[in-house]
Each structure stands twice: as structure tokens, then as C-alpha cells.
Amino acid sequence: MGILTSIFTWWNGATIGTRFYGLRGMTRVGDDALGNVYYQGGADTAGLPRRWVIYLGANDASRVPPDWFAWLHRQVDEVPDRSLPPQRVWEKPAVANMTGTALAYRPAGAMEKGGHRAAATGDYEAWTPEG
């Protein structure tokens, strides 16, 4: 990311102001598998320590894994590595929201999948007011 981009655009990641001035006095508490970094420090209006995430790449809240989401929203007090049980073998990893991308879910019959739907079976009967 170029220096001008990091100064003026907030949607491509943390701005240079956030990195150098906004995080002053904050303590780095951890990072996740996606490369997002989490900080804590200062105080919010309730007097509790403020919690932050600095995204690696685009600012997209769906890229915060569920365990770190719980920490950011004070559902757990300790960072997820210390407070939550390890991930079970049957749990799938979190994925980002793919809406608006080529990887978005498209049901059968969607125009992007050819627009052809399976033929209706004989189990449907249209409603009529007389019937």
C-alpha cells in the first residue's frame, strides 16, 4: 500500500494516522489466522478498556473470526487463546462474507448459473379462490 493511500483511504486498511497516533498507548494483545491484529487500551465512555482490530487488507468486519468477535464485543474477558476451548475437529474455519464476489452462493436457476431451473413436479397445484 502506498504512502498516499495509507494517509487518505480508510477502506483499504488502517490509515497512517491510526497506525502512528491512534494506537499510541494501546497494547497489542494478539492476532488471528487472517493476519488481523488486536489491541486494547485507553477507556471508553463506560470506563472499560477500549478494544480495536486493525485489519490486514480491506476493512471487512466479516473477516473477524468468531472467537475474536466475542472478545471485541466483551462476551469473553480474556483473549480467545486463553479463555476459549480449542477448536473441535468438526468445526469449520470462519469464512468472509462473499456477497458481491464471484465466490458468492448462487442457487440453481440463478442467471449466473445459466438460468435453468429443474422442471416442476406434479406435486404443486396453484391456488384459486373458488377451490
109: left (phi over 0), alpha (psi -120 to 50) or beta: left
Question: Do β-strands 37-41 and 50-54 pair in parallel, antiparallel, or remain unpaired?
Answer: antiparallel
Helix (H) / strand (E) containing 4? helix 3-8
DSSP three-state, residue 96? coil
Asked if 59 and 52 touch (Cβ cutoff 8 Å), the reply is no
DSSP three-state, residue 113? helix
**Under-50 pLDDT residues of the chain:** none
* C-alpha distances out from residue 16 to 57, 61, 82, Å: 14, 20, 31
Going 57 to 95 to 53 to 88, the CA torsion angle's sign is negative
